[in-house]
Amino acid sequence: SHRMKERLAYHLNEQRQRIEYLKKHYGQFKVSEVTLDQIFNGIRGVTLLITDTSYVDPHQGIRIRDFTIPELLRVLPKAPDSAFPLAGGLYYLLMTGEVPDEAEAWEVEATWKERMTVPEHVFRVIDAMPRETHPMTLLSQAILALQTESIFAKRYEEGISKPAFWGYYLEDSLNLTAKLPVLAAYIYNRKYRHGAYIPPHPDLDWSANFAYMIERSDDPIFVELMRLYFVLHSDHEGGNVTAYSANVVSSSLADIYFTASAGINGLAGPLHGLANQECTRWLLKVLHHFGGLPSEEQLEDYVREQLDKGMTIPGYGHAVLRTVDPRFTALANLAETYFPQDQLYRLVKRVYAVVPRVLSSLGKVKNPWPNVDAISGALLYHFGLRQLDFYTVLFGISRMLGVTAQTVWSRGLYKPLERPKSITSQMLEAMIAQA
């Protein structure tokens, strides 16, 4: 995508100058202080990263390149006959910070189409694993197997200098992201279906192609859900476990394949991306327990019992958000439009009516509101995508759009190796004694 690269080069250059200026004039400006509590609480609330692709406002939710979700859905060029954006346009925005016109969005889509072919050995890696392997393991392995293709790694070995890095990271990123729907579909078909490889359709956009490759593109609303889903999950600033892991790994100049695989591994945890699988499992358990939709009173008792046993309610709470996740709202709007009577969706709404109140009453939960994972699985389930362990793969391929954009920016801004300092508990006690 020539245009995207050209605009990216322009913005990186401008941003480098701004950062040089800031470093020169405000090098000692204090951004954050860290307390002992924060160190023992997952560095929560300590601002120590600068990420330009997006920002999570605690009270408004995600802003991708400063656009809220409703704004984003409005400004990005739409896929054909669709209410939702082309993933190619979203990628252009993440990379450059500029809203693309249709031609620019389609140029990214066209670049992806040219690069979708997955080398045979990557499929063989997936094939070699036992059938019961978790799809997130397969996705991470497939991405890692693609590392053989890294242009950056080859050029680095030959000898290149810093200003050249980001361009090769961009090439690798385009090559990787082009293949992600193919990898996800291959994993799906191999694990749950007939196992045959279905090549991408040359006329379809990135998101619709995934639906096509798992033979679900005949349902236009499912295709719409995929387009929305891939936009919503793409980026969540720099500190979420996926982006944070990826950032650290790429700061060692590990190429985009090592970087993305590391991010996927972080996403696979139940407190993070796996929560969509866990939440759907939990919702189904509730339906099974009550033999249908429980009343609010029944549900409240059930939730309190779970909490008394020390269990987590998946899909609720957040490290940064202090409000309902706008990604939850966007998905609820789609369900409300097309299938308000769906039983699982009705349960999602009932849980939403009960759980925030119950969690608030505990007095310790900082955010009692639903996050994206409280609903995303229920929508996939509605369309018959009922292999819950696959859900995080969809989160993952979308999130790699944000992670690769963040990585290209990090290399383009010449960010150094990331390496914070650690001390022992004993040293901490000594510091306190001496204070």
| Catalytic center residues | 272, 318, 373
* Interface residue with ligand NMX, options 113, 179, 190, 272 (CB under 6 A): 272
Cα 401 from Cα 377, distance rounded (Å): 20
Window 305-344: residues binding ligand NMX (CB under 6 A): 307, 312-319
- Token output for 351: 């849980």
Nearest to ligand MLT of 371, 406 (CB atom): 371
Binding-site member from 65, 236, 350, 382 for ligand MLT (CB under 6 A): 236
Site string for ligand MLT, 271-310 (x = CB under 6 A): -x--------------------------------------
How far is it, in rounded angstroms, from Cα 331 to Cα 398?
A: 15
Does an H or E element contain 62, and which? strand 61-64
Strand, coil or helix: what is 405?
Answer: helix
Interface with ligand NMX, residue 304, by CB under 6 A:
no
**Considering beta carbons, is residue 288 or 364 the nearer one to ligand NMX?**
364
Nearest Cα to 152, choosing from 162, 144, 142, 143?
A: 162
With b for 16 or more beta-carbon neighbours within 10 A and e for fewer, the 322-333 pattern comes to eebbbbbbbbbe
State the binding partner of 364 from ligand MLT, ligand NMX, none, CB within 5 to 8 A by kind: ligand NMX
Within 10 angstroms of residue 336's Cβ, the number of other Cβ atoms is: 12
Stretch near ligand MLT under the rule CB under 6 A, chosen from 109-117, 234-242, 346-354, 407-415: 234-242
Give the x/- contact pattern for ligand MLT in 358-377, rule: CB under 6 A: -------------x------
Cα 43 versus chain centre, distance: 21
What minimum distance in Å lies between the beta carbon of 68 and ligand MLT? 15
Candidate list 61, 263, 273, 402; residue touching ligand NMX; CB under 6 A: 273
Site size toward ligand NMX (CB under 6 A) is: 21
State how far the alpha carbon of 314 is from the alpha carbons of 61, 309, 361, 373, in Å: 19, 14, 17, 8
For residue 275, the partner it binds in ligand NMX, ligand MLT, none, with Cβ less than 5 to 8 A by kind, is ligand NMX
| Interatomic CA distance for residues 277 and 251, integer angstroms | 31
Query: Which phi and psi angles does 115 have, rounded to 5°?
Result: -115, 15
Instruction: Identify residues 312-341 at the interface with ligand MLT (CB under 6 A).
Output: 319-320
CB of 270 to ligand NMX, least distance (A): 7
Task: Give the whole-angstrom CA distance, residue 123 versus residue 186.
Answer: 8
Give least dist CB 391 to ligand NMX, A. Answer: 11
Nearest to 236 by CA among 327, 314, 174, 313: 327
At a CB cut-off of 8 Å and minimum separation 6, what does 286 contact? 294, 299, 302, 347, 351
Q: How far is the CB of 374 from ligand MLT (least distance, A)?
A: 11
The 237-256 contact track toward ligand MLT, x by CB under 6 A, reads ---x-x--------------
> Of these partners, ligand NMX, ligand MLT, none, which one is at the site of residue 365 (CB under 5 to 8 Å by kind)?
ligand NMX
Positions that interact with ligand NMX (CB under 6 A) = 44, 271-273, 275, 307, 312-319, 364-367, 371-373
